């Protein structure tokens, strides 16, 4: 899939079709992982959408949804000839798996996006959980219901096919590509704002995750631009407080519901 294809997909995903409700906000996390040296069988791309609500002067996490499409066996086989049963993992389950598999993790975001991201995430996760998709690492020419982890995210709107998407772009580079397209299509609300409070609120501060900035340039679609995020980690408003550290949630189908504490009076 070329630049136009995935850009249009994310444009449709994140474009607002109505007024933004001041009491609700939506944030997207884009993750990429890979081994060193990078090998296709040890890479992954996934995305998490977080919905929040402003209550009593603080911002509360209402729900989080994750698209993390893997083979049911959790064994990625790039040379497999046939598709196989897939499984959509939750956020913490994904992180634990890739770390145990010897992969390092990069994070782009969280970025505030438009409300239409929510129903599209919900619909895609529903299709994955109902078994309407099968998994294949190299999914070219296998139809829209066979997908790898990258296309499970980028196919939230199936407007364009996958023929132009280079098979050499996987792992962190694939996730960087998705993040770049969101920015190029102006689908991030106030991109200069730092929403780092969501990282501990989602229980992510306990993991060795590198947070990356968007570095735009002629090589950004071809090589990983290694520039860690060095902006101060401060909340977007003084009323927002992060959660204290929580135990890693047990493996289950639904994402954990996390509620940030109200601001002190």
pLDDT at residue 91, rounded to an integer: 98
What are the boundaries of each domain within the chain? 3-212
Tokens 């501060």 belong to which residue? 205
Q: What is the 3-state secondary structure (H, E, C) of 163-175?
A: CCCCCCCCCHHHH
- 58 - beta bridge partners? 55
pLDDT at residue 21, rounded to an integer: 53
- The secondary element (H helix, E strand) that includes residue 76 is none
How far apart CA 88 and CA 100 sit, in angstroms, is 18
Averaged over successive runs of 10 residues, the pLDDT of the chain (265 residues) comes to 49 46 88 95 98 90 98 97 97 98 96 93 97 94 88 73 61 89 82 92 96 77 60 34 33 38 45
pTM: 0.78
Sheet holding 43-55: strands in order across?
Answer: 58-67, 43-55, 24-34, 104-113, 209-212
In the chain, what is the greatest distance between 2 CA atoms, to the nearest angstrom? 61
pLDDT at residue 227, rounded to an integer: 55
pLDDT at residue 209, rounded to an integer: 95
Q: What is the dihedral of CA 234, 239, 245, 251, to 10 degrees?
A: -100
Vertex 223: Cα angle to 222 and 229 (nearest 5): 130
């Amino acid at each position: 899939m070329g630049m136009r294809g995935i850009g249009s997909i994310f444009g449709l995903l994140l474009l607002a079709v109505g007024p933004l409700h001041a009491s609700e906000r939506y944030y997207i996390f884009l993750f990429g992982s890979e081994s060193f040296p990078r090998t296709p069988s040890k890479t992954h791309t996934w995305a998490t959408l977080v919905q929040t609500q402003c209550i009593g002067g603080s911002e509360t996490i209402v729900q989080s949804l994750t698209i993390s499409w893997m083979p049911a066996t959790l064994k990625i086989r790039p040379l497999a000839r046939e598709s196989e049963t897939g499984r959509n993992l939750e956020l913490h389950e994904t992180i634990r798996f890739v770390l145990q598999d010897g992969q390092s993790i990069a994070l782009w975001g969280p970025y505030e996006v438009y409300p239409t991201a929510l129903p599209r995430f919900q619909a895609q996760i529903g299709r994955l959980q109902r078994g309407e998709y099968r998994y294949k690492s190299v999914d070219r020419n296998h139809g829209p219901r066979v997908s790898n982890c990258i296309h499970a995210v980028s196919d939230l709107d199936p407007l364009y096919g996958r023929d132009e998407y280079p098979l050499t772009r996987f792992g962190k580079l694939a996730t960087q590509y998705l993040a770049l397209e969101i920015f190029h299509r102006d689908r991030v609300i106030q991109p200069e704002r730092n929403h780092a409070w969501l990282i501990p609120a989602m229980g992510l501060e306990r993991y060795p995750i590198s947070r990356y900035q968007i570095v735009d340039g002629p090589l950004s679609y071809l090589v990983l631009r290694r520039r860690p995020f060095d902006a101060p980690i401060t909340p977007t408003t003084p009323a927002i407080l992060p959660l204290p550290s929580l135990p890693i949630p047990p493996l289950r189908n639904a994402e954990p519901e996390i509620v940030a504490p109200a601001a002190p009076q």
